[in-house]
Chains A and B, each alone.
Chain A
Amino acid sequence: MRLPGTRYQEPGWEEVRKLLGQCSLAALRGVDPARLLDAAARDDLLADYVERTGERLRQARHGARAQAPGNSYGDTVLELALGLLYELQARPADWQAFCAAAASEQARIAGFWMEAGGDALLRKKLNDMYAVLRDKVDADNYQAACGRPCSPNRIYAYRMLDTAYGDIARLFADWEQHRDQVGAILGRELQGTPIEVRQLRTIADCRAEWVLRWSETLEAFGGGVGPLHTRSKRFANLKTAPDKIAAMLREIGDYEALSANQDRDWLQDRDDAALWMEDYWRVLQESEEGTTPGPDLILEAREDALGLDDVPEPQAEDDAPPPQDPRLDVLAAAVSLPPGYMQAAGEAEERTGWVARELGGDGLAVRLAVYAKLLGPGDESYPDAWRDPATGELPTMQQLAGLARVSLPTLRKRRDAAIARLEAATMRRTG
């Protein structure tokens, strides 16, 4: 199923889920389950989990599963898995829920994931977490793409309808073998070839009452309880609103037709990626200078109004290059980087740039860690001097910690603090 903006709703999702499960389990094998019980340690554990799993995903990147298409927009399974992993990082509540679920299992059977079958239990809980997360992500993607409100539940409902259509289409295509069931869906006894069978070409042709009757009679034809007729309240509102069902079916169909005909303007996207930021700053600037009379046209009143303090931009740093320090070479060699790495990487940095200015007080290692976290280790826009020649990517967090002569958790803390400062700076910047 395709909808505006969504990425995780096509059959490739199964592979994304499996890849995430496989890499997560491997990553969690090195974790002491006791850490899950300690609510205060969960944030640290999340950072640890994301890093370890990201590492495993990158190790698996050449595999057939990782390279397989994850959707029809050209995202691979690996890209989608990494995307979801980084979403998790930004949504600690979902991780907390997973930890709580694992902790309650742990309370039942201490060290359950060491037991036989424990992997399967843990994988199930991971699956649950990512299943919730993908619908949250796609609900946001949908809203950003088309401006209409959407909840994760609504995404779930679209998917249920898409599955229902798939099953109905399958039955229609083979109607002679499923005469009774097709009759039950159409709500009449079949005389000769039903015309509907030939009329159903896409999901947009699927009628709401067929879906309702399909769900109602599914159990009688051995397919289990129909999704609209379970005891769950999930689709209670949908069940009594065939017009809503019809509108959703049509929306899926219309978008599928549109997205199938349209060339993806991927170059356009790339060019504009940077340019829209100028529009964003301009909108903020004009708002500050403007005198638009109230009232505020806000869709849903928010309780907390943000204070907008004008914080002066810090002074640009001295342009002089840092003196060469022979001790840096020793450090570089100790973490398997070429001698001169720190020097060259420092010189490749634009010292008047915004990031260098905001993070001037942090070391180069912290700044590189910030880039790696936000843009990934191999972004095409990095200067060559920043890359480890052995991998073609930025040094790993372990290497950067070695360069900064601090422990890995310390570097992580500094990196996250630096990102928080950059976020604050981005928020107050208006041009």
Chain B
Amino acid sequence: MNTKTAARKTLDRRLQERLLLDRRVDGDRLVLADAVLTAALDGSRPLTAGERAALQASPLTTRRLRQLAIERRARQAPASPVSGWRGSQGRLRAASSGEVDALRTDDGWFTLHLVPQGEGWRAILQLAADAPFAADLLAARAPLRVRDGAGRTILEGRLDADGECEAAWPFPSAPAAHLQAADAAFSVESI
């Protein structure tokens, strides 16, 4: 699947989501209990035709299904490789016109260095040695991923013995401009 198709698929899905969730029905109410929705989600008891019709006719119940589906996915997501860390987020501070050379996560445990290299840039993720989970994370050699605020991957890899991992900057625009356009945010998570 090329990137254009992938992007369009995302766009289609987001549009469908809006179509489903933006409907409003007068006097709408929750028509299916959480237990019924949960059983339908885990496949243990599919909805009857009547329940399916009720779900489709109730945007509010659809929203409840969405919430339960998201919570279910969150529970199923792989547990963190180390206790006490579930991921870190950071923001691009103050819209400066210049380039950025380093960004820290809000918790201070990771720094993303951005170093010019030839025509492009290099992204280097560095774990703070004093992070409470640093030793565990290094020992686990867990694969990590850094993403921008739009969810696109900036880099993926395992930390080396120095607590670093690096890759070429993957986007056409320079880091500051790219991140600014991507909600001025980035995140570090384990895969």
Contact = CB atoms under 8 A, between A and B. Distances in A.
Contact of B16 (A272, A304, A308, A354): A354
Contacts of B11: 350, 353, 355, 371, 381-382
18 contacts: A87-B24, A93-B26, A265-B74, A267-B147, A267-B149, A268-B74, A272-B70, A272-B73, A274-B13, A275-B70, A276-B65, A276-B69, A276-B73, A280-B20, A290-B47, A299-B31, A299-B33, A380-B150
Contacts of A287: 40, 46-49, 51-52
Interface string A393-431: 000000000000000000000000001001100110100
Interface stretch (B2-10, B136-144, B162-170): B2-10
A297 interface: yes
A422 B16 CA distance: 8
Nearest to A427: B56
B128 interface: no
A297 B24 contact: no
Contacts of A280: 20, 62, 65-66, 69
Contacts of B183: 380
Interface stretch (A122-130, A141-149, A320-328): A141-149
A354 to B, nearest CB: 4
Interface residues of B, number: 69
Interface in A316-357: 349-350, 352-355
A289 B66 contact: no
Given A144-B66, A297-B33, A286 B46 contact: yes
B30 A91 contact: no
A130 to B, nearest CB: 16
A287 B36 CA distance: 12
A290 B50 CA distance: 12
Given A268-B74, A427-B56, A380 B182 contact: yes
A350 B5 contact: yes
Nearest to B87: A267
A305 B53 contact: yes
A317 to B, nearest CB: 14
B151 A270 contact: yes
A419 B74 contact: no
Contact of B14 (A149, A286, A295, A381): A381
Interface string B121-149: 00000000000000000000000000101
B93 to A, nearest CB: 16
A279 B52 contact: no
B22 A374 contact: yes
